[in-house]
Amino acid sequence: MKTYRIATVPGDGIGKEVVPAGRRVLEVLAGSESSFTFEFENFDWGGDYFRQHGEMMPESGLNALRGKDAILFGSAGDPHIPDHITLWGLRLKICQGLDQYANVRPTRILPGIDGPLKRCKDKDLNWVIVRENTEGEYSGVGGRVHQGHPIEVATDLSLMTRVGVERIQRFAFRLAQSRPRKLLTVITKSNAQRHAMVMWDEIASQISKEFPDVTWDRELVDAATARMVNRPASLDTIVATNLHADILSDLAAALAGSLGIAPTANINPERLYPSMFEPIHGSAFDIMGKGLANPVGTFWSVVMLLEHLGETDAAERVMKAVEHVTANPSLHTRDLGGMATTAQVTEAVCARIAATADGYI
Ligand code: NAD
Ligand code: MN
């Protein structure tokens, strides 16, 4: 029997509600599996840790994560601490520290969910957005001088390296190749940003030659927002820079029904370090502590975690259980227009996993 070592990092806000729910799903799953089990270690990093220790996670934190098979993450963000401190001190520290350079965000409309696009069929929206996750607009290079004076200057430098762009484009082409439509859209802004984004475009053309069976096109990021709304079926796999993909994937999540449903994988494709799985939403201060958080984004992230571990049958079983539950409107949380609580949705998914155990053991 295999034992997977999983780190859980709930972080802040509703992260503390949805990560335990995700862990519970994994525990119920393991209870009905004979070939693998999980060994969890929880890390209480985040805003509370910051108030006690002056940092979001300890210096030794990355070392503690290195020996794990995967990380299940909640969210970083505290109402009383500036967002750039919580984000850089925890989530970006892990993503960059463990070189999780490919951020993968699937979107589709799950059964029973009423998306806002009235002119398209549910099946028209089936995308995977690949976000560059270690550089670009989030390189952290920049500074502020003469603070508070009229001559104050502030810069954030978007930094793109050939290695960084090549590896994310190659990852995206490979992912597009693995999907039935073999279709990739490269998001750009090379009309306005005439250095790094032009290199981004050139590298896309160069990498495309390695994938002759993948059909690809280029779209400016602003035009891409309209295309997502008006012609969703014309898109399949999408690759974009760190900031562009951040924005497009929130739009994608909203078009699929709610930010509360959407998952993310932060992948180190070479598997030199563990990869990290998390819902795309943040700490949701407005609903934290009320039992209103939709745990589906975390459950779908758990599905991606299982796929990454190679447990594809188990992953499919969890996804089917999630879809079984979303198909029932009385099990929708408030963000989907329903009345169900985090706990009710979690128990329903766990019950379905347990009920479908026969035949899998
Ligand atoms: P948010 O995702 O936390 O919330 C946006 C809106 O969506 C809120 O109205 C919220 O109630 C709702 N929502 C989000 N997730 C939901 C869920 N699971 N179920 C039901 N409703 C849900 O974004 P925000 O308000 O811009 O940010 C709040 C904090 O979270 C900030 O500190 C921000 O920096 C942080 N944040 C962290 C991450 C991360 O760690 N990955 C991502 C985004 C934002
Ligand atoms: Mn975001």
Q: Residues 218, 249: one domain?
A: yes
Q: Residues 98, 217: one domain?
A: no
Three-class secondary structure assignment of the chain: CEEEEEEEEEECCCHHHHHHHHHHHHHHHHHCCCCEEEEEEECCCCHHHHHHHCCCCCCCHHHHHHCCCEEEEEECCECCECHHHHHHHHHHHHHHHCCCCEEEEEEECCCCCCCCCCCCCHHHCEEEEEEECCCEEEEEEEEEECCCCCCCEEEEEEECCHHHHHHHHHHHHHHHHHCCCCEEEEEECCCCCCCHHHHHHHHHHHHHCCCCCCEEEEEEHHHHHHHHHHCHHHCCEEEECHHHHHHHHHHHHHHCCCCCCCEEEEECCCCCCCEEEEECCCCCHHHCCCCCCCCHHHHHHHHHHHHHCCCHHHHHHHHHHHHHHHCCHHHCCHHHCCCCCHHHHHHHHHHHHHHCCCCCC
Q: Residues 218, 269: one domain?
A: no
222 Cα–ligand 2 center, Å: 17
Name the residue with the closest Cα to ligand 1, atom 38: 282
Overall domain count for the chain: 2
Q: For residue 109, tell me if it sits in a domain.
A: no
Name residues contacting ligand 1 (CB within 6 A): 14, 75-77, 83, 87, 91, 259-260, 278, 281-287, 293-294, 297, 333, 335
343 Cα–ligand 1 center, Å: 19
Name the residue with the closest Cα to ligand 1, atom 5: 284
Q: Residues 125, 99: one domain?
A: no
Q: Residues 93, 176: one domain?
A: no
Flag residues of the chain having pLDDT under 70.
Answer: 358-361
Q: For residue 279, tell me if it sits in a domain.
A: yes
Q: For residue 200, tell me if it sits in a domain.
A: yes
Q: Which of 255, 277, 311 is the last residue of a domain?
A: 255
282 Cα–ligand 1 center, Å: 3
246 Cα–ligand 2 center, Å: 5
Atom of ligand 1 at shortest range from CA of 264: 41
User: What digits encode the pLDDT tens for the residues 148-169?
Assistant: 999 999 999 999 999 999 999 9
Name the residue with the closest Cα to ligand 1, atom 43: 282
Q: What is the CATH number of the domain that holds 328?
A: 3.40.718.10
280 Cα–ligand 2 center, Å: 6
Instruction: Look at residue 175 in the predicted model and tell me its pLDDT.
Output: 98
Instruction: Look at residue 350 in the predicted model and tell me its pLDDT.
Output: 98
Instruction: Look at residue 361 in the predicted model and tell me its pLDDT.
Output: 44
Q: Are strands 36-42 and 2-11 parallel, antiparallel or unpaired?
A: parallel
Q: For residue 77, tell me if it sits in a domain.
A: yes
- The ligand placed nearest to the CA atom of residue 281 is 1
Q: For residue 131, tell me if it sits in a domain.
A: yes
Instruction: Look at residue 86 in the predicted model and tell me its pLDDT.
Output: 96
Q: Residues 234, 152: one domain?
A: yes
The preferred substitution site among 85, 283, 296 for testing ligand 1, maximizing ligand atoms within 8 Å of CB, is 283
Q: For residue 280, tell me if it sits in a domain.
A: yes
Instruction: Look at residue 122 in the predicted model and tell me its pLDDT.
Output: 86
Name the residue with the closest Cα to ligand 1, atom 36: 282
Q: Residues 134, 222: one domain?
A: yes
Instruction: Look at residue 357 in the predicted model and tell me its pLDDT.
Output: 81
196 Cα–ligand 1 center, Å: 30
Task: Measure the N-to-C terminal CA separation of the chain; round to a whole number of Å.
Answer: 13
Q: For residue 47, tell me if it sits in a domain.
A: yes
CA distances (Å), origin 262, targets 6, 40, 207, 236, 337: 21, 23, 29, 16, 16
Domain that holds residue 350: 1-104+262-361
Name the residue with the closest Cα to ligand 1, atom 23: 282
Residue found under tokens 């503390």: 16
CA distances (Å), origin 174, targets 67, 69, 178, 277: 27, 23, 6, 20
Instruction: Look at residue 111 in the predicted model and tell me its pLDDT.
Output: 96
Q: Residues 145, 204: one domain?
A: yes
